[in-house]
Structure 1
Amino acid sequence: MKKVTIWLLVITFIFVLSGCNNQEQEKLSSENLITSPIPITENDEIAPISYDNVHQSSELLTEGNNTYVGFGYDVLNNTYIDPLSFSLSNPILKEEEVQKQLKTRIPNAKSSANIIGSSVSEYSKQLSVKLNLSADYPMFSGSVSGEYDLNQTKKENTYFIKSMSGYIKSSDFINNSVNLKTILDDTFKKDLNSNMEPKKLFEKYGTHLLTEALMGARCTYNYTYTSSSSQKKSEILAKVDTTYSYISGSASDDQKKEATEFLSNTYFQSMLTGGADIDASTMPNLLKNFPTWVASLKDTTPTIYGISNINSLTPIWELTDNADRATALEKAFKKMGGDVKSFLDELSKIPEKPSGKTYIESVIIISDKNKNVATDGSSYPGYTMIDKDLNKDAGGDYIYLWYNTTTDPDKALRDIRFTYDSFKDIPQFYTKNDHDLNKGASGAYIYMWTTKQKSIGKPITGINIYYGENADMPSGYEVGLVNNKESKTRAELNYKAGGEFIFLGYTNE
């Protein structure tokens, strides 16, 4: 079994599962499925798998004479049925009992399905639909961090795709009539019924027992595709199909050109399971050696291809007779599933686009006895001065308020408050400007406080200074307040200094 990883640039999910369809009687082979891409359509469903030639298994088909049936798999943190992710050193069922009970059946047809999502959450939901999973948590989510470019998840027009094809030689399974509790491995049974923490138990054995394994070989291509504009999923799937033809050596010159262009905007990873050990460390090597890998499938021992459906997996908490232990394990599993779902949901959040509005990002105070100095903002590029002296008619320094703007509401100020002398009861999240707004004049010490805390208010979009005891502010403007506990007192910026009545007004989005 060979696992190969290739990295380029890519996003989208196409998930192709090969099973059997009773309406199709096409015999599976290593040639007709691997070298000829399965037609991909958005509405494909996973058809029920039918078999013929069911018989007792006289030979275990996987490496080292160990079948994957009877072992555990972590369905939350692993990708979809990866041979390297099974807990093969920690069997759940007694291996000698598995050999007695194991049966093999031969698929007589094929079916295909795909999943494509513009976010990892959408992909996860579509996967659940295709596999008829009723759980409230994502299954086989390990592929997200291991097979896709997480730096692209918050970008628009990005798609996650998994394209998987292969051939199914047989299916290993244990009949549903077998009481699995009677053939549990002694060590597993002891751990299952002990006080071992659920997380440690899942890490050691997996979350589910595999009772059926489709055996064969497969190639898996993962794409993180980012487009400059929105595209129909059917258009993207067509490009993926063309790329498959390109890799398998059956593409025309036009298809090669299309595939190359698609890959140039794609983060790509491949994995080959089963077959000969080939050099596929780069795309040129994959293209060169892929035919050799396909040819080797005739003579190599098959590995696990996948599962027929979710019924091929049994939760390990169903294997204990201790009801309290079973409840605790199931509860822990659901908690882990919820954490994975929250992680995927967070990855899927695309930041809001700037609305085109401008917001007040920050304010500064410049003062000096020389008006020319107080009105010189050359040291503060990007700031705009409000041409209203905050010490008007009170003597003292010339004091001016300056502000800069942003188009990002997340960077905007949300509120402005003031304190007089010893009144400094400012709530949490406010930042003080240490510049006295009565500097050089008599009266109270006045300080300005600002905050960007989103829970406090909406982004400030405008700010100005107004003169007069009954200053007439524009509609929608509110005056800065003195924050003395719950006081609603308007902050007069010449307080106790004489001179003009001065107020700061601002408006929120």
Structure 2
Amino acid sequence: MKNPLTNGIGLFLWVMGAAIVLAFSACEKDKSEPLPTNLRDLPGVGYLGQGYDAFGDFAATDELKAALIDFEQYRKEQVGDKEYRVPEEVDVQLVESNAFMSFLGQTPAEFQGSQMAAVGLSGGYPYFSGAVLDNFQVAHYRTLDYAFVQVGNTVNRWTVSLPYDAALLRAMLTDAARADLANLPPDELFAKYGTHLLTAATIGARADYYVAADKGKTAQINLAQAAEASFKAALGLIDLNAEPQYQEMVNTLRENAFIGMRVRGGNPACGHNIFAPGNYQAWLNSVDDGLVISSLANPSLLPLWELCENSTRRAAVEQAFQAYASAHELPPVVTDAKTSITEILIKSGTEENPYFYQEPGFKVIPENLNDGTDGDFIFLMYKEGL
């Protein structure tokens, strides 16, 4: 006669085994099930795994190059109040912030250095030389007379990141990228993929305020603080008449600086004339319609040669990079340079503030040419050259 206890245990084990098999099968099935067809990729996640030209502008979507990584496995993730498709290897963090950041340098090299430090780049290379060339005038970065400030208003939605691990990233390379890293001449490699792999980014939009300030006339003020206050006043975020601690320094800065503006992301129409009444808020409201890279983390840029399969090839590409980098140095300072006025603009309108009419790279003369008469305010501004 069989022991009932033995029979019960056997039946229990059989049921448990069957349940485990069924559960495993269900998990395998779920893993292979396609995500809903109406689930879109998280905006900005596709920037990860692309090459980046670190000799170009700072944290700029325009500097992205060809993709090196191919994502194959995706998951569904809720970010904010929406669901998106996200690669399995990518970490996502909701941010939802509106912040100001500053980069400052008494020389172009110091200015570049402040941006390099923000993303953990070093090595004596002229990284972000494009940030100087694209956003300041030759008459300023080729003389010793000007200090440089960039104040960025970053509107951030979320951060996306990959592991900053060359070995892990190598395993994710596309077949084409792996072959190129092994075989392409280094100059062709850099031309196609840039100099680094983008591994992390903050996604949103950014408005940049660029200031080239005459060092001899602004030495007594805090340039970063004055530039940020000037920017916020132009956006309508602070009233200088109610902030006497800022008003004097902002006036000194504006009277002795060339100011530029550049907006990335959001509605270009609002961004182009962001200081016009209502346009800043309209631009903020439009950010989700044009999400770009708003900032870069430390670290976020992995040198391209680190992705090469063997140490010999890595060393060869890194050595070639040194020669490639030398071609991106800023032009030398002209010690006996004489500046001259190269362009004059006259702007008019109903706005009393002369700096409302500021055009990128120009200095405004804050005197109303129509003073004492009826009609619009009229202001003169000029641009310098060597």
TM-score normalised to structure 2 length? 0.64
Q: Rate the CA distance shift 1:134–1:225 in 2: closer, same or farther, 3 A.
A: same
Q: Does 1:133 align with 2:131?
A: no
The residue matched to 2:47 in structure 1 has which SS?
Answer: coil
CA drift of 1:277 comes to 3.0
Q: Rate the CA distance shift 1:108–1:300 in 2: closer, same or farther, 3 A.
A: closer
CA drift of 1:201 comes to 1.2
Q: How far apart, in 1, do the equivalents of 2:73 and 2:181 lie?
A: 19
Structure 1 partner of 2:231: 244
Higher relative contact order (CA 8 A, sep 6+): 2
Matches within 5 A, 1:99-110: 99-107=87-95
Match of 2:91, as an amino acid? Answer: K
Q: How far apart, in 1, do the equivalents of 2:268 and 2:257 lie?
A: 26
When Rg is computed on C-alpha atoms for both structures, the one with the higher figure is 1
Matches within 5 A, 1:57-68: 60-62=41-43, 67-68=46-47
The residue matched to 1:171 in structure 2 has which SS?
Answer: strand
CA drift of 1:319 comes to 1.2
TM-score normalised to structure 1 length? 0.49
Q: Does 1:289 align with 2:265?
A: no
Q: Rate the CA distance shift 1:130–1:151 in 2: closer, same or farther, 3 A.
A: same
Q: Does the Cα contact within 8 Å between 2:119 and 2:296 map onto a contact in 1? A: no
Q: Does the Cα contact within 8 Å between 2:235 and 2:275 map onto a contact in 1? A: no
Q: Which of 73, 96, 103 does residue 72 from structure 2 map onto?
A: 96
Match of 1:186, as an amino acid? Answer: D
Q: How far apart, in 1, do the equivalents of 2:73 and 2:50 lie?
A: 12
Q: How far apart, in 1, do the equivalents of 2:103 and 2:163 lie?
A: 30
Structure 1 partner of 2:343: none
Structure 1 partner of 2:268: 277
Q: Rate the CA distance shift 1:301–1:142 in 2: closer, same or farther, 3 A.
A: closer
Deviations 1:333-352 (A, max 9, x none): 122334434x35x23x6449
CA drift of 1:325 comes to 2.2
Q: Rate the CA distance shift 1:233–1:127 in 2: closer, same or farther, 3 A.
A: farther
Match of 1:75, as an amino acid? Answer: A
Q: Does 1:143 align with 2:131?
A: yes
Q: Which of 39, 52, 69 does residue 73 from structure 1 map onto?
A: 52
Q: Does 1:182 align with 2:158?
A: no
Matches within 5 A, 1:82-231: 82-87=60-65, 90-96=66-72, 99-107=87-95, 114-176=102-164, 179-194=168-183, 196-226=184-214, 229=217, 231=219
Q: Does the Cα contact within 8 Å between 1:128 and 1:138 map onto a contact in 2? A: no
Q: Rate the CA distance shift 1:169–1:257 in 2: closer, same or farther, 3 A.
A: same
CA drift of 1:249 comes to 0.7
Give the number of aligned pairs. Answer: 283
CA drift of 1:238 comes to 3.0
State the superposition RMSD in angstroms: 3.2
CA drift of 1:293 comes to 0.5
Q: Tell me, which stretches of 5 or more residues in structure 2 are unaligned?
A: 1-38, 75-86, 339-386
Q: How far apart, in 2, do the equivalents of 1:244 and 1:340 lie?
A: 30
Q: Does the Cα contact within 8 Å between 1:215 and 1:306 map onto a contact in 2? A: yes
Q: Does the Cα contact within 8 Å between 1:106 and 1:171 map onto a contact in 2? A: yes
